[in-house]
Structure 1
């Protein structure tokens, strides 16, 4: 087929070009989240070929397309070309049903070609399909990846979008490159954001057992704590990537999570998939080589619990906040294991209650946002209704005040033990904690709370001053 009535056929790739993501990987993680017990089916499907694999995935799940990270700059250009008479064709190696859903949503494409049956429409097969329809040299092609180089050999014009490494130079060897769209942010900054390096501060909880045991000047303990901090942080980043991959659709509907690199498409999704196991392997290797086996056991529990949380527990009412509280508490237990310091009853009881309160803050903030937006249905990916947020405030506030009670009982207990020289100074920490928790809940009620209250505590000036006063009270009590 040649050009129709003199019009130009402008063929556009989907993955990495029209959308800043990989639809096969997206569909894979959506399948794992929806049907985790069918994990081993994936291997059987893959043995029958990529096209069969894509088809079976699409039979099981189809991702929502209204919130995909579309390349807005490219869409504007495509609309201009269409208004000037070009016929737009969406041609992709993704399953044809996904391509058709995208085309129906955007309403700018005149034709859709995708993988179906036994034909995986990629590289030379895509070129052959386009040549058979329009003839060699009778279509322009917009792509981004190495397989697209095969298609450009038969295209009249070459257009490149956010090219993979080496693609742009290779495309220029084939002919003149007409349009180049490159709107990616700096890679290193984006990668660090995806790893959530700023949240590694949570892992400072590893040092709590050393502080409680009055051994913060023990170099051997601190060295083990530092190694544990590094291993736990790498493992946590692996978990964050896994969680983001599982929650792509939900995050894109969230007021702030939609800006996360994987959800926004600013970090190639395959990079996240590859980094996730690599970080975990390094973390496990560090733990196995340099720390007691008990730390590795706790790290394993943390990862398994987080995996269960990502796959299922985060959608179970109340069990989700209890699991979040346990994930914070596990950090303290990991520190105790790394430094061979048994965690005390008081530390564990205090951690459980205060982290349960902060977990409720996290859910309360999400529900408050949903309520302000007028939503009445369950929050995306959660088991709560916006109308539940008053109850969460009551439960979360109660848990927080229980942590103050535990702290008071601890101070009363150590006052008789002789562990501190001036234990009466420690009573100052109770009103400080009451003030801080009450303020956290007040800010959450006003809608001024960060999605993660731990991150809020690290950034908030008042919270930092409360921490300084806590340290002074404990220090004076110890002198």
Structure 2
């Protein structure tokens, strides 16, 4: 049922077909109409399809070939030949939703953690709702990103394995799921304070602007990524009416700014190594020549975040919240080591382009996190 322009473009690109039958503005070759056109042209034919709408065509065909069929088509039409090369939906769907990126939304818990309110059940339940609301919105935006980047992803050596680019999930499935995710997020936010809902809508607006426009702006895209991370922390405070420490905001801004620069540096390394990626990412405002400046700036900002941590440890607030604050000083060398390790991996060119994904899969990061938790517990 494809339009003749699309059908002829595909036929020209592949170069295997002698003739093309396709829909026009006056005649839609769909279901029974497609069957009639094929019977009139060929009399006897084999047919490969995937949809329940192809049932009339299969009934008239000599060989019924089902290619990655829908559940309804598989149930109704027995196949003479079944071809399935897509990943199962239960494997492709989590990758489309980027469930592993939901870890970023754990930032909504940070205001409670620093305010020592995690033991309050009602407050904790509100934060859990905030986590899922942000996660659903994030997954919806990832769907839009993948749809917008489809052509580029299909020529990228790594991103071509994303569900849409690889054909594991149909585009229409993603389009249908997008509003469902947003509605789910809005429904969850209705149980939280209006301020949180406003921040969630702001996050949706900013991420949409980022996808459509800001990611093409030099440096502004890095600042936007930093702001989106920090907005999660602000939302966590709004969901529970927990005041957010100025020290937390200052540290988070510098911390996530250096991680955003890590991401850009790894992308620039890929650009310098592959002409294919350079072509597919031509809308990005960066060139490999920017790598050195970003690398040095990222390390400087990482050190700056460490000075913010020192300022917090010297503040009167620490003396009020912790009985043994000296234990907290053990966090400083751990943070510095983690920064050194991640930037060292950038320098060697062995880091995934998303440092958060790296952190989630890195054993040493987990060990550092456990030691930090132990030090905080001892300080309390």
Structure-2 separation of matches of 1:378 and 1:281: 33
Larger CA deviation: 413-422 vs 311-320: 413-422
Distance 1:322 1:156, change over 3 A: same
Q: What CA deviation, in whole Å up to 9, does each residue of 1:213-261 have, x standing for no partner?
A: 1222222211111121122222222222222222212222333222121
CA distance in 2, matches of 1:100, 1:372: 35
Q: Is 1:436 the counterpart of 2:342 in the alignment?
A: no
Whole-Å Cα distance in 1 between the matches of residues 233 and 280 of structure 2? Answer: 33
State the number of aligned residues.
379
Normalized per residue, which structure has more strand? Answer: 1
Q: Could you tell me which residue of structure 1 aligns to residue 24 of structure 2?
A: 116
> SS state of the match for residue 160, structure 1?
strand
Partners of 2:60 and 2:283 lie apart in 1 by 45
* Structure in which a larger fraction of residues adopt helix: 2
Decide which of 238, 251, 268 is 1:350's aligned counterpart: 251
State which of 231, 237, 240 in structure 2 corresponds to 1:330: 231
Q: 2:114 matched to 1:212?
A: yes
Structure 1 window deviating more from structure 2 (182-191 vs 217-226): it is 182-191
Q: TM-score scaled to structure 1, two decimals? A: 0.75
The answer to whether the 8 Å contact 1:378/1:384 transfers is no
Tell me, in whole angstroms, the C-alpha distance in 1 between the residues paired with 2:182 and 2:75.
35
Query: Aligned residue for 2:348?
Result: 446
2-structure distance, mates of 1:207, 1:165:
40
Q: Do structure 1's residue 139 and structure 2's residue 45 form an aligned pair?
A: yes
Match of 1:90 in 2: none
Give the CA deviation at 1:380: 4.1
Output aligned runs, 1:163-312, within 5 Å.
Answer: 163-172=69-78, 177-288=79-190, 290-312=191-213
1:341 aligns with 2:249: no
In the alignment, which residue of structure 2 is the partner of 1:87?
none
- The answer to which of 371-380 and 226-235 deviates more is 371-380
Q: RMSD of the alignment, in Å? A: 2.0
CA distance in 2, matches of 1:407, 1:262: 42
Match of 2:3 in 1: 95
Assess, with a 3 A threshold, how the Cα gap between structure 1 residues 388 and 112 changes in structure 2: closer, same or farther.
farther
The alignment status of 1:455 with 2:361, answered yes or no, reads no
Give the structure 2 partner of residue 402 of structure 1: 304
Q: Deviations over 1:407-462 (max 9, x none)?
A: 11121223775333233332222222111112101111212212221121121111
Q: Name the SS for the 1:108 alignment partner.
A: coil
User: For 2:332 and 2:54, how far apart are their aligned partners in 1?
Assistant: 64
Query: Displacement, 1:374?
Result: 4.7
> Are the counterparts in 2 of residues 423 and 477 from structure 1 also a CA contact under 8 Å?
yes
**Structure 2 regions of 5+ residues with no counterpart?**
none
CA 1:256/1:378 → structure 2, altered by over 3 Å: closer, same or farther? closer
Contact map agreement 2:156 2:280 (CA 8 A) in 1: no
Structure 1 window deviating more from structure 2 (181-190 vs 372-381): it is: 372-381
Q: Equivalences for 1:19-38 in 2 at 5 Å?
A: none
1:118 Cα deviation (Å)?
2.6
Aligned equivalent of 1:369: 270
Alignment match, 1:107: 15
Cα distance between partner residues in 1 of 2:212 and 2:27: 32
Change over 3 Å in CA distance of 1:416–1:349 after alignment to 2: closer
Is the Cα contact below 8 Å between 1:252 and 1:258 reproduced in 2?
yes
Secondary structure of 1:184's counterpart equals coil
Structure 1 unmatched runs, 5+: 1-92
Deviation at 1:359, TM superposition (A): 1.0
- State the shift of 1:383 in Å: 1.6
User: 2:219 pairs with 308, 318, 326, which one?
Assistant: 318
